[in-house]
Homo-oligomer: A and B are copies of this chain.
Amino acid sequence: MNPFPHKHLLGLEDYTASDITRILDTAESMREVLDRPIRKVPTLRGITVVNLFFESSTRTRISFELAEKRLSADTVNFSSTGSSLSKGESLLDTVQNIEAMKTDVVVMRHRSPGAPHFLSKHISSVIINAGDGAHEHPTQALLDILTLRQKFGDLKGLRVTIVGDIAHSRVALSNIYGLKKMGAHVKLCGPATLIPRAAETLGVDITHSIEEAIADSDVLNVLRLQLERQEAGLFPSLREYQKYFGLTRTRLEKADKPLTILHPGPINRGVEITSDVADSEHALILNQVTNGVAVRMAVLYLLCGAKQES
């Protein structure tokens, strides 16, 4: 098989539909591994992965760590608390030091957009972006896309609306890139204060009406509302947000057919989504979580394979 044509996964912006399809196909094989009684393969034995989380994260860190361990990689966790960074060391120095310890892969979350791209120019490890500020979170988009492909077979012409705080979401941007490459129609829905003006340049539609979004979509990808945005004055109150944009059963029942619901978690029940919607058969939220491990296994496998060939 051809080597995978990328060294890193910094974002989906520079991945093609063919690259994404290859990850999804590999992830399907990994899903089979996850359904075995013994969910472990020796593929990455002796490979060392450093999980470098400069922002706290439960599920993304655990999902990557499980993916790494199931491929038999050795993992080392690093979080910014108690790190050299609190001693004022630069990000580049920290990462060059970690790489000098002969690590193979750096999975990195950082608050600064572009931090992994910057590093990729200076170190030789494989870098996987696990979220850089409000920029990209490519493995999240890949697991969303895998979940939709499993449900719909093909994303061509699928109408997907991303609902909520688009402006501060790395999930939204990676979804926009990935979904459009796979042929979906993408719409954004949220209050004007939470949708960046530049969004129009990305080739997506924009609406400020959740009713319109429901009427025109096959899928709603509902973002988590970062409650701290309220303090910043970007929306007046949770009640107000819930009233105009919250996803409720009543609203969904006005659609011609049941809409498929995604959510990257963690859920604010009763805020951006009600419990009956989140727990309904049309919400694929826990499926997304399982696919997250499979997608991360696939990305690790393909990038480390590419590394071994280079």
Contacts and interface: CB of A to CB of B under 8 A. Distances in A.
Interface of A: 34-35, 37-40, 45-48, 50, 56-59, 62-63, 65-66, 69-70, 74, 76, 78-79, 81-90, 93-94, 96-98, 100-103, 227, 265-269, 286-287, 289-290, 292-293, 308
Contact of A101 (B45, B100, B293): B293
A35 B100 CA distance: 11
A108 B63 CA distance: 18
A48 B225 CA distance: 31
B100 A78 contact: no
Contacts of A48: 39, 66, 69-70
7 contacts: A48-B66, A48-B70, A58-B82, A66-B103, A69-B74, A89-B267, A100-B290
A84 B62 CA distance: 12
A78 B59 CA distance: 10
A74 B269 contact: no
Contacts of A70: 48, 74
Given A48-B69, A70-B74, A101 B266 contact: no
B102 A286 contact: no
Contacts of A293: 101-102
B34 A38 contact: no
Contacts of A84: 58-59, 265-266
| Copies of this chain, whole number | 3
A58 B54 CA distance: 13
Most buried by B among A35, A37, A84: A84
Nearest to A97: B289
Contacts of A269: 90, 93
Contacts of A39: 46, 48, 102
Nearest to A62: B76
A83 B58 contact: yes
A94 B40 contact: no
A182 to B, nearest CB: 23
Contacts of A78: 58, 62
A137 to B, nearest CB: 15
A207 to B, nearest CB: 28
Contact of A93 (B38, B100, B266): B266
Nearest to A87: B266
A63 B103 CA distance: 10
Contacts of A94: 58, 266
A269 B87 CA distance: 12
